[in-house]
Structure 1
Amino acid sequence: MRGPRPTAGLRRRGGEPSRAGPLRPRRHPLRTPGGRGGGHPSLHRLAGRTVRTVGRGRWHDLEEEHYHSYLAGRLDFEGQRQARARDFAAHHGVTLSPGEARAWFAAYFEHYVAAWTLHDDAVPCLDVLEAELPGVGFGLITNGDLSFQRRKVEAVGLDRRIPLLVASGEVGVAKPDPQIFHHACARAGVTPERAVYVGDRLRTDAIGAAAAGLTGVWLDRRGQTPAPEDAADANALGVRRITGLDELAGVLVG
């Protein structure tokens, strides 16, 4: 968050929800349990796919679908992970049991965590905002576990630059509920109308923040076409749209 127009959060992209920092996974082989495909020979082929592939297209779509089912209460957190693994494997002609889906996702996630890195525009964005907006401060809001998010921020060296971490597991409500945005603003000592939230989920992040009284900014790196309802709500709430963090300062300062 910052003085003139605080920012309520920057978010990550990748294979695990909470997406609250400008993170991405490096390309690496997606392996399966024990390196043997969890008992499915066909999963040897999946193990050869890279996170660059997994992070786009079908995997991203499944993440959106099942994570929103989790937010809506139709799946628990572990259930949405299993559903993503199951449906991704099915897309490649492989059927996974619940136990196999759990093990497959766990193996994927170990490699995902080991490969955390920042988007190239993340640190330059923070530098420009600090130069253009004296007194600016940064925070992060995540739908997830606080200790896990703190581990992530520390792993990429942003813990000194993003001191405020707010997690749904700690607060008891999740984005897009206005309460979590208001809680973050209160922690930062700013009013919602003087806060900006940047996120890569239009409904959960940008629209949710704007509905709570913040300036909502949608980080749309993929050039997506939003659903008509989402587009209408975003327009009505004045949500800003950027395709990279290098555009953020121009939106906020210009």
Structure 2
Amino acid sequence: MNQDASLQPRKAVFFDLDDTLYDQLVPFRNAVAEHLPEHAESLPADGLFRAFRRHSDLLWEPYAGGELPLETMRVMRLVRAFADFGVTIDERISVSVQEAYEAGQGRIRFLPGVEACFSELARSGYRIGVITNGPEQHQWRKIRALGLDRIVPREMVFISGAVGLTKPDPRLFEHVNRLSGTDPEQCIFVGDSWENDMLGARNAGWRGVWFNPRGNRPGKDYAPHLIVSDFADLAAFIIKSEEQCL
């Protein structure tokens, strides 16, 4: 029997998808190795991926604003990432790497501890949700590859391409509050991006848990609710911190 929505617990933990619930480096590294093997051996995979993510974030706003087609954005972020390491790659190779990267995202798996974290939070009365930037169908393919659609109700999944708002816009978080029946002070957001996830959550009145397994440097003028490097004991940390706030 489904529980009446009015009786469901209102406190909730929402999670980012990419590079939070699974490791984006794995399909990226494999795609580069497949199409650019000489550079896969000579360039640091983690450093190249950081550059790729940085340029992806920088190009996201013009893409989201309709100034840059999606496929052009995907080519540019890869070309610029390699350029940071003094390597020039052409558009044809960039498209091939992107296609292999997308194919690899169909074989992704949860990071260790994710499912246990979800279970512990649910047992403690938290609703679980997802907020992710990206095209709707592309993000749903990854959600299904993980089996996340069998864990998180569809009405608790919010994809920027479907909503028409993107992180870090606080209006996206406000939209989530309205549709999920939650209040900002009852919501926690777990994500890896300082700009999109932590500052987006803060500006919407949510608490942020920064998932930072790569040891990235934080931005200034803001201290997240928690900083973690893996999912071990994450649920316990959240639950304990919430009890201390009561």
Which TM-score tier does this pair reach, normalised by the shorter chain? 0.7 to 0.9
More helix per residue: 1 or 2? 2
Deviation at 1:76, TM superposition (A): 4.3
RMSD value, Cα: 2.7
Cα offset, 1:11, TM superposition: 2.8
Q: Give the SS at the match of 2:209.
A: strand
Q: Does 1:8 align with 2:14?
A: yes
Q: Is the 8 A contact 2:51 2:81 kept in 1?
A: no
The structure-2 alpha-carbon separation of the partners of 1:92 and 1:45, relative to structure 1 and needing over 3 Å to count, comes to farther
Question: Which segment is superposed worse, 72-81 or 58-67?
Answer: 72-81
State the match for 1:152 in structure 2. 142
- Following superposition of structure 1 onto structure 2, how do residues 209-220 of structure 1 map, counting pairs within 5 Å? 209-220=201-212
Secondary structure of the equivalent of 2:238?
helix
Number of matched residues?
Answer: 226
Give the CA deviation at 1:176.
0.4
Match of 2:79 in 1: 86
Give the superposition deviation at 1:197. Answer: 0.7
Kindly provide the CA deviation profile for residues 98-128 of structure 1, in whole angstroms up to 9, marking residues without a partner as x.
3432233223332x22431110111111122
How far the C-alpha of 1:161 sits from its partner, in A, is 1.4
Give the whole-Å Cα distance in 2 for the aligned partners of 1:206 and 1:92.
28
2:171 equivalent to 1:179 = yes
Query: Which residue is 2:22 aligned to?
Result: 23
Structure 2 matches for 1:93-172, cutoff 5 A? 94-110=87-103, 112-131=104-123, 133-134=124-125, 136-163=126-153, 164-172=156-164
Q: Matched residues in 2 for 1:65 and 1:89: separation? A: 11
Please report how far the alpha carbon of residue 142 of structure 1 lies from its aligned counterpart in structure 2 after TM superposition. 1.1
Deviation, structure 1 residue 4: 5.5
Q: How does 1:193-232 map to 2 (within 5 A)?
A: 193-226=185-218, 230-232=219-221
**Equivalent pair of 1:30/1:47 in contact (CA under 8 Å):** no
Gapped regions of structure 1 (runs ≥ 5): 14-20, 38-42
Counterpart contact for 1:86–1:96, Cα < 8 Å: yes
2:47 maps to 1:57? yes
In the TM superposition, what is the alpha-carbon distance from 1:3 to its structure 2 partner? Answer: 2.2
Q: Which amino acid letter does the alignment assign opposite residue 78 of structure 1?
A: E
Amino acid at match of 2:23: R
- Specify every segment of 5 or more residues in structure 2 that has no aligned partner in the other structure, as ranges: 1-7, 241-246
Change in 2 beyond 3 A, CA 1:197/1:80: same
Letter aligned with residue 127 of structure 2: G
Q: Distance in 2 between matches of 1:197 and 1:46?
A: 36
Deviation at 1:29, TM superposition (A): 3.5
Distance 2:172 2:106 in 1: 29
Take 1:165 and 1:103, find their aligned partners in 2: how far apart are those partners?
Answer: 30
Contact 1:173/1:179 (<8 A) preserved: yes
Q: TM-score, normalised by structure 1?
A: 0.77
Q: Percent identity?
A: 26
In the alignment, the residues of structure 1 paired with residue 238 and residue 37 of structure 2 have an alpha-carbon distance, to the nearest angstrom, of: 47
CA deviation string 1:144-165 (max 9, x = no partner): 1222222222222221211221
CA distance in 2 between counterparts of 1:182 and 1:96 reads 41
SS in 2 for 1:45: helix
